[in-house]
């Protein structure tokens, strides 16, 4: 089959882009030919069809979002806004239709663009094209709008319930966790299958080499210091203040708490607040996104390391998220057999914890038991190793590429 992926962004280390890469690997292994279309392309999707207006960072798209959501959203402006969104959707319909027809696509996989309304015209356009062409579609849902606080106040509810997601006979819906599956059924009477995030656990993780051996030195972390890794973007639902509090209460010398991903996806106010909190608590909090890329490279005369290089050097991974659609970083830290502190977010409670993983757990705050357990494990690498091996085996059974392949074969059989 000719299969096309359509999204706002297919590049970098965000959860959607990473998961598309895994789906692509499996679909190619199954013999399918793949094509890509987005507002930003790179890596495995380089060479695809670039349509700048598909990106959520496009100036026109940001302007729509500012009017549609939040305290400034009004019913009076909402009616005018919907007309303008549909007019903007008309402008991207032709290039998207060209992508579909020129590549003779048998199936499209829409990655989150019919799920979270970061690009309102794109959702409307895709809904219309799928209906018009009777196009076989997999809608891969990572984050529904009702799961995000910033979309709760809006002036376009009817539009959201039309396109995010669309309910059409040729669409098969995929949720990444059981909670999202149930809520989609309750809210929209839409059936879906659950395909969780996965990782290639059959391939052993890479090790230290000549390129990444100096990573801690580059960060200026002494040999007797600690490198704590926060492998996420800087957005409020990541709960990074809990990681800061943990570091403060551990009272260990020379701890650097390093965040790997950029801070501006949802504005800089949260980052500024985190910096103030860390300063008052005397915690060495660093944003190292300028050193971390999707792959190794060089920029401005210095090395760019991969995210994998960072995991290899981590003494501890902090993952105190309040909410995650699933948790790519959780699978990554298991893959690299790292000690981790994890907040018990809803999907973790529903789909991950019951499988028997062992982490230091938080329940929305940093308690004495978590601090003491973390301190003990940092001094006991043998116990950490036993926990890590157990976690790896569980993840390989439930969240491997082989699991993904089996589920995709079942899903695609519906279209053949």
List of E strands, 176-327 = 192-194, 226-230, 255-259, 284-287, 292-293, 297-299, 302-306, 316-319
Query: Domain range holding 334?
Result: 215-398
Compute CA distances 219 → 223, 231, 366, whole Å. 11, 15, 27
- In a shared domain, residues 358 and 380: yes
| Angle of CA points 31, 37, 41, to nearest 5° | 100
Q: Which two tokens stand for residue 125?
A: 């356009």
Would you state the pLDDT for residue 274? 96
Give me the percent of the chain exceeding a pLDDT of 70. 98
Would you state the pLDDT for residue 75? 65
Tokens 């050097």 belong to residue: 313
- In a shared domain, residues 140 and 271: no
- Provide the whole-model pTM: 0.86
- Interatomic CA distance for residues 45 and 5, integer angstroms: 9
Would you state the pLDDT for residue 4? 98
Residue 210 lies in a domain: no
Would you state the pLDDT for residue 300? 84
- In a shared domain, residues 140 and 224: no
- In a shared domain, residues 139 and 50: yes
Residues 227 and 315: beta-carbon distance below 8 Å? yes
Average pLDDT over residues 305-324: 95
DSSP 51-116: -GGGSTTSHHHHHHHHHHBSTT--HHHHHHHHHHHHHHHHHHHHHHHHHHHHTT-SEEEEESTTTS
pLDDT digits (tens, 9 = 90+) for 88-103: 999 999 999 999 999 9
Which letter does DSSP use for residue 351 in this model?
Answer: I
- In a shared domain, residues 237 and 315: yes
Among residues 151, 152, 304, 330, the alpha carbon closest in space to that of 238 is found at 330
- In a shared domain, residues 326 and 183: no
The phi, psi pair for 179, rounded to 5°, reads -65, -45
- In a shared domain, residues 136 and 223: no
Number of structural domains found in the chain: 2
Among residues 212, 223, 191, 181, the alpha carbon closest in space to that of 347 is found at 181
- In a shared domain, residues 55 and 11: yes
pLDDT digits (tens, 9 = 90+) for 55-79: 999 999 999 998 889 876 666 677 7
CATH code of 41's domain: 3.40.50.2000
Would you state the pLDDT for residue 117? 95
User: How far does CA 148 lie from the centroid of its chain?
Assistant: 14
Residue 100 lies in a domain: yes
- In a shared domain, residues 177 and 222: no
Residues 343 and 241: beta-carbon distance below 8 Å? no
- In a shared domain, residues 182 and 327: no
């Amino acid at each position: 089959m000719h299969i096309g992926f359509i999204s706002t962004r297919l590049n970098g280390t965000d959860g959607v882009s990473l998961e598309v890469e895994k789906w692509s690997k499996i679909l190619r292994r199954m013999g399918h030919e793949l094509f890509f279309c987005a507002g930003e392309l790179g890596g495995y999707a380089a060479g695809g069809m670039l349509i700048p207006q598909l990106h959520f960072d496009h100036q026109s798209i940001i302007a729509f979002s500012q009017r549609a959501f939040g305290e400034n959203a009004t019913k009076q402006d909402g009616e005018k806004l919907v007309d303008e969104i549909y007019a903007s959707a008309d402008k991207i319909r032709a290039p998207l239709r060209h992508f579909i027809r020129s590549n003779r696509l048998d199936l499209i996989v829409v990655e989150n663009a019919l799920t979270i309304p970061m690009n309102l015209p794109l959702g409307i356009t895709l809904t219309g094209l799928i209906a018009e062409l009777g196009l076989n579609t997999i809608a891969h849902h990572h984050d529904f709008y009702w799961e995000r606080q910033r979309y709760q106040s809006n002036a376009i509810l009817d539009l959201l319930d039309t396109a995010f997601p669309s309910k059409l006979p040729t669409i098969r819906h995929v949720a990444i966790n059981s909670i999202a599956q149930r809520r989609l059924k309750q809210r929209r009477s839409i059936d879906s299958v659950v395909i969780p995030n996965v990782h290639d656990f059959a391939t052993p993780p890479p090790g230290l080499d000549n390129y990444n051996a100096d990573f801690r030195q580059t960060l200026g972390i002494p040999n007797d210091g600690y490198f704590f890794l926060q492998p996420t973007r800087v957005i409020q639902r990541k709960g990074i203040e809990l990681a800061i509090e943990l570091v403060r209460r551990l009272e260990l010398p020379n701890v650097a708490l390093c965040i790997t991903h950029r801070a501006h996806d949802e504005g800089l106010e949260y980052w500024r607040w985190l910096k103030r909190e860390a300063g008052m608590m005397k915690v060495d909090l660093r944003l190292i996104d300028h050193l971390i890329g999707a792959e190794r490279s060089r920029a401005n005369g210095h090395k760019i390391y991969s995210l994998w290089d960072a995991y290899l050097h981590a003494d501890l991974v902090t993952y105190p998220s309040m909410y995650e659609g699933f948790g790519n970083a959780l699978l990554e830290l298991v893959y690299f057999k790292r000690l981790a502190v994890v907040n018990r977010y809803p999907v973790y409670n529903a789909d991950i914890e019951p499988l028997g993983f062992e982490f230091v757990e938080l329940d929305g705050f940093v308690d004495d038991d978590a601090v003491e357990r973390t301190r003990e494990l940092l001094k006991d690498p043998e116990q950490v190793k036993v926990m890590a091996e157990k976690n790896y085996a569980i993840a390989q059974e439930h969240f491997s590429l082989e699991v993904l392949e089996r589920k995709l074969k079942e899903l695609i059989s519906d279209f053949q």
